[in-house]
Amino acid sequence: MREETRKFDTELAVIGSGIAGCAASIFALNRQIDCAQVGNTGAVAYTTGYLDLLGAIEESSAAVAKPWEGLAQLKNLHPDHPLSRIPVTDIRKGFDQFATFLGECGITYTAPRESNITALTPAGTLKKTLCVPATMAAGPEAFADKTPCVIIDFKGLKGFSAREVVANLQDQWPTLLAARIIFPDMDKGEIYPEVMARALEVPATRTRLAELLREAAGEVKVIGLPAVLGMHRPDHVRAELEQLTGLTIFEIPTMPPSVPGIRLREMFEQVFPEKGITLIPQQKVTALSFDTDGALLCLSDNYGPITIQAKAVILATGRFLSGGLEAHITGISESLLDLPVSQPPSRTDWYRDGYTDRRGHPIHKAGIDIDTSYRPLGKNGKPYNEHLFAAGIILAHQDWIRGRSGAGIAIATAYKAVEAAEKFLLAQHA
């Protein structure tokens, strides 16, 4: 049977559906740039839901309490770090627009503040982050005030243990207790946060759970639950459970596969097409080529081949996990265009001898180089193509895991890449 290629035309094509890709689409929407986005889930699906800007600087063992001030320090010590190259006002704009968009689409976030929030991890340790989902916000507050609180977990749920959380926090939060209950209708076998979250979208399940929660809370007025409070209307689900129980309720992230990431992903997949973005989810671009008018992206979905013709492209394909970079015996390469990758001279230099070396490992700073207009550099050190821009953790000279700056790098560089792409598109139209 003959296969017809479906063709799309767009101003801006975004390759990648991680935080950088999705942020780029949001910024393009805000600037009214016609946009198409392609990409697999990527690391978004595994996120805790916290949006980190800067939680650590290599040279220091202390966590960064004031991230905006920390950025100035980062700039002094690491001028080539992507965040060092962006004016703080632009990083703020990026975060504001991103968090606002999420809120408007039903997943409210706390607004970025001057200080980092000390947030709870699935294991009951603490980490610094800039913004947390509204469903989680009462947790750090209760921790700061050491309010009496019960952490509740569920029989059959792996990847979250109330006793572990309490054991890890007990020294700092003596009034913390643990309890275990059985989720309504889920008394057998392994249960998943995703399934519980969807069940809690049903009003009848909320009513039944509320009763169990009240019982487990006893005299205590604040409770912490694994992140299962609804999938599509988490704010609503939490508010209603609070009303039914008369308690203050907060969520704590769980280990993947966790709900906050699925929430974000499904929200983007729902909202982007409604807002006019051509979204081709769960597919990878297999070839990217350029001519004088722009770029041609080739891919296929279950139905058959697709091409996207775009005047500008943002490459936000992430690193190894997402497939933006590939590691070979001979070195590290960029997957789509074979762009030069800034990397340690040889494979033996990828890791330092000590696994826990505070300076981190050189391989975690590998990535592509860009010029001031966010265009990746080609082998000759000049921009690879005037139609091509890049954003996200594929960029070199940053170790986002150690810096606790994953979302920050993704959002801020996406903001700048879209700004640069818009400038280019406007000049083309003129």
Partner 1 sequence: MSDTIRPAINFKEKALELLPEGASFESCLTCGLCSSGCPASGIENMDPRKFIRMAMLGMDKELSTTPWVWCCTLCKRCQHVCPMNIDISQLVFFARSNWPQEEKPSGIVRSCQLIRSTDSTSAMGLPPEDFVFVVQDVLEEVRVTQPAFKNLQAPMDKKGAFFFVNQNSREPMNEPDEMVPLWKIFDLVGADWTYSSKGWAAENFCMFSGDEEAWYEVIKKRVEAVKALGCKVWLNTECGHSYYTMWNALHRFGMEADFKLESLITYYARWIREGKLPVNSKWNRHNITFTVQDPCMIVRKAYGESIAEDMRFVVKSLVGEENFIDMQPNRSANYCCGGGGGFLQAGMTEHRRTYGKRKFDQIATTGAAYVLTPCHNCHSQMEDIGHFYGGNYGVVHFWTLICLSLGILGENERTYLGPDLLALID
Closest CB 215 distance from ligand FAD, rounded Å: 32
Nearer to partner 1, 196 or 425 (CB): 196
CA distances in angstroms from 39 to 52, 119, 257, 271, 281, listed in the order given? 22, 30, 19, 16, 6
Site string for partner 1, 266-305 (x = CB under 8 A): x--xx--x-----xxxx-x----------------xxx--
Report the residue from 10, 11, 18, 403 that binds ligand FAD according to the rule CB under 6 A. Answer: 18
Interface with partner 1, residue 231, by CB under 8 A: yes
CB 112 within 8 A of CB 92: yes
Q: How far apart are CA 55 and CA 67, in angstroms?
A: 7
Nearer to partner 1, 60 or 270 (CB): 270
Q: What is the 3-state secondary structure (H, E, C) of 60-103?
A: CCCCCCCHHHHHHHHHHHCCCCHHHHCCHHHHHHHHHHHHHHHH
**Contacted by 270, from partner 1, ligand FAD, none: CB < 5 to 8 Å by type:** partner 1
Residues in 331-360 at the binding interface with ligand FAD, rule: CB under 6 A: 336
Interface with partner 1, residue 198, by CB under 8 A: yes
Closest CB 299 distance from partner 1, rounded Å: 12
Interface with ligand FAD, residue 223, by CB under 6 A: no
**Contacted by 199, from partner 1, ligand FAD, none: CB < 5 to 8 Å by type:** partner 1
Residues in 270-299 at the binding interface with ligand FAD, rule: CB under 6 A: 284-285
Closest CB 270 distance from ligand FAD, rounded Å: 17
Locate 425 and state its tokens.
């598109």
**Contacted by 340, from ligand FAD, partner 1, none: CB < 5 to 8 Å by type:** none
CA distances in angstroms from 160 to 141, 177, 222, 240, 256, listed in the order given? 21, 15, 18, 23, 10
Report the residue from 94, 184, 324, 403 that binds ligand FAD according to the rule CB under 6 A. Answer: 324
Nearer to ligand FAD, 284 or 352 (CB): 284
Closest CB 45 distance from partner 1, rounded Å: 6
SS3 content of the chain, % helix, strand, coil (to 5): 35, 25, 40
Angle between helices 88-104 and 67-77 (to 10 degrees): 140
Residues in 317-356 at the binding interface with partner 1, rule: CB under 8 A: 321-323
Interface with partner 1, residue 65, by CB under 8 A: no
**Contacted by 204, from partner 1, ligand FAD, none: CB < 5 to 8 Å by type:** partner 1
Q: Give the DSSP letter string of 347-368.
A: GGGSS-SSTT-TT--GGGG-EE
Residues whose CB is less than 8 angstroms from the CB of residue 154 and which lie 6 or more positions away in sequence, other chains included: 180, 181, 182, 183, 186, 191, 196, 226
CA distances in angstroms from 300 to 15, 37, 280, listed in the order given? 14, 14, 9
Interface with ligand FAD, residue 139, by CB under 6 A: no
Burial profile 413-429: b = 16 or more Cβ within 10 angstroms, e = fewer: bbbbbbbbbbebbeeee
Site string for ligand FAD, 393-412 (x = CB under 6 A): xx-----x-----xx--x--
**Contacted by 301, from partner 1, ligand FAD, none: CB < 5 to 8 Å by type:** partner 1
Residues whose CB is less than 8 angstroms from the CB of residue 143 and which lie 6 or more positions away in sequence, other chains included: 118, 120, 126, 169, 172, 173
Closest CB 196 distance from partner 1, rounded Å: 10
CB 223 within 8 A of CB 247: yes
Interface with ligand FAD, residue 50, by CB under 6 A: yes
Nearer to partner 1, 37 or 385 (CB): 37
Closest CB 423 distance from partner 1, rounded Å: 31
Residues whose CB is less than 8 angstroms from the CB of residue 356 and which lie 6 or more positions away in sequence, other chains included: none
Residues in 367-396 at the binding interface with ligand FAD, rule: CB under 6 A: 392-394
Q: How far apart are CA 383 and CA 399, in angstroms?
A: 24
Binding site for ligand FAD (CB under 6 A): 15-21, 38-44, 46-48, 50-52, 284-285, 316-318, 321-324, 336, 392-394, 400, 406-407, 410
